[in-house]
Amino acid sequence: MSKGLIFDIKRYSINDGPGIRTTVFLKGCPLRCPWCHNPEGQSFLPEIMVRPSRCLAGCTECLAACGPGALAKPGEAPILDKSACTKCGRCADTCPTRAIEVVGRAVRAAEVIAEVEKDRIFYEESGGGVTFSGGEPLGQPDFLGGLLDDCRARGIHTAVDTCGYAPPEALAEVADRADLFLFDLKIMDNKKHDDIVGQPNGVILENLKQLAHLGPRIVVRLPLVAGVNDDEVNIRETAEFLRTLGAVREISLLPYHSLGRDKYRGLRKENRAGELAAPTAETLGRIKKDLEARGFRVSLGE
């Protein structure tokens, strides 16, 4: 089987589906949400991340290892010239504190499954399993499909965490191979969705309709940002759309957090979060109560 590109595997997750889970992060995403807390998952290519807080004063090991001369250290931390970097990884290999990392590695499905299998006892005791997240896992449908098949053959529960923006055929390829879909809905207004996250939402809504028709369990996740999508109109339109799907009755509210901000600096990417904030507790309570009154089972995630 061909390789796929991942950027992380996290163990003992309790926020990515039922029970204790292992979350595998596939690299590459077609959206550019300002509140994204995994910016290292956006590009479909490997990247170099520099973490200045880990850098040792006086250490120049990375500079000596960098053949193209893409690194300089005028101060306490190295600065990367992206235009000169070949992403060979020698700087990361030589760094004693992992202040420099290559984000994104090509792996075979068997390598991922071997890591997943290490936590089987936790899945069995908690009703957990593995969640494929990102980035956007549907951006690598063949690789994802193989992983899902391997997990099913081993009796491991699977979840796919998706933004829904993918070719319909990619979704259809994996729809009956996963046990659960965690499906993000961000903004119902098409133009506003395009303006804020970089793509219109038509494909996303159609994909959710298709998925609901095919029958897997779906939990819709609403990432909530104050003043962006926590208003009564957006919540009402979201609920009305979901009610037309019939089978979708579970909603998880995900208030914004700013934990990814240091990653933008490390990748030398623009952070568009600005002054974004989570909705107030009062607003979250109102949204939860409103959705429950419309017949949905609502949980508050992280």
Full-model pTM: 0.94
Taken in order of first residue, the domains within the chain and their CATH numbers are 4-43+106-300 (3.20.20.70), 47-103 (3.30.70.20)
**Which tokens hold the place of 163?**
């933004």
What value does the mean pLDDT take over residues 247-254?
95
101-140, pLDDT tens digit by residue?
A: 999 999 999 999 999 999 999 999 999 999 999 999 999 9
49 beta partners? 101
Which helix (H) or strand (E) segment holds residue 287: the answer is helix 281-293
**Sequence-separated (6 or more) residues with CB below 8 Å from residue 37:** 257, 258, 259, 260, 263
Q: For residues 73 and 279, give the distance between their C-alpha atoms in angstroms, rounded to a whole number.
A: 40
The pLDDT of residue 3 is 93
Residue 76 pLDDT level (bands cut at 50, 70, 90): confident
Does the pLDDT of residue 1 top 60, yes or no?
no
